[in-house]
Amino acid sequence: MNDKHIDDELTDPLEPWLGYRLRRISAAAMADVGPLLAREGFTASLAAVLLMIEANPGRTQAQIGRALAIKRANIAPMIARLERDELILKESIDGRSFGLIITARGESVTKKLADVFSSHDEDLLGSLSAAERTQLRKLMEKVRHAQSGRSSSV
């Protein structure tokens, strides 16, 4: 159940496909950051939601969800959880929607989460020079914008 055997060196037919490499690198990155966030009682998605609320006070959960490509049906329980823990509160906008505001407690949690993301990103990019980081960021922005033309959730 440990799978830390040393062997193999298989040929990788998926290597030419950047989409798959993206998936693998992203999955490994999330596997790394997951336990760090879990120590704060968060998952990556929930952390993203809280950070997004903190940066955009007064928005509705539907707006936050759209910005993060999280469906209304899926963000609802996250918002409930954040409100239950008194990290955010709801201000009535009209009869059917609420503006989401971060609380003081939410602010302090936000700082911890941001630290986790920052230090993990430093690990992830540790082998890259400043110029390379800029390059990578620029290339990923290009890919992202190409995606947003066609894809449902970017």
Partner DNA sequence: TATTGTTATACTCTATAACTATA
Partner DNA sequence: TATAGTTATAGAGTATAACAATA
The residues binding DNA (CB under 7 A) are: 1-5, 27, 31, 38, 43-46, 60-63, 69-74, 76-77, 79-80, 94-98, 152-153
Q: Distance between CA 74 and CA 53 in Å, rounded?
A: 16
Site for its own copies in 118-147 (CB under 8 A): 118, 120-121, 123-128, 132-133, 135-137, 139-140, 142-147
151 binds its own copies (CB under 8 A): yes
| CA-to-CA dists, residue 79 to 17, 70, 105, angstroms | 37, 12, 15
22 binds its own copies (CB under 8 A): yes
93 binds its own copies (CB under 8 A): no
- Residues written for the chain: 154
Q: Distance between CA 87 and CA 91 in Å, rounded?
A: 14
Least distance in angstroms from the C-beta of 85 to its own copies: 19
111 binds its own copies (CB under 8 A): no
Enumerate residues 6+ apart whose C-beta is below 8 A from 7: none
Question: Which stretch, 12-20, 81-89, 96-104, contacts its own copies (CB under 8 A)?
Answer: 12-20
Please, what sign has the CA dihedral across residues 138, 144, 145, 147?
positive
46 binds its own copies (CB under 8 A): no
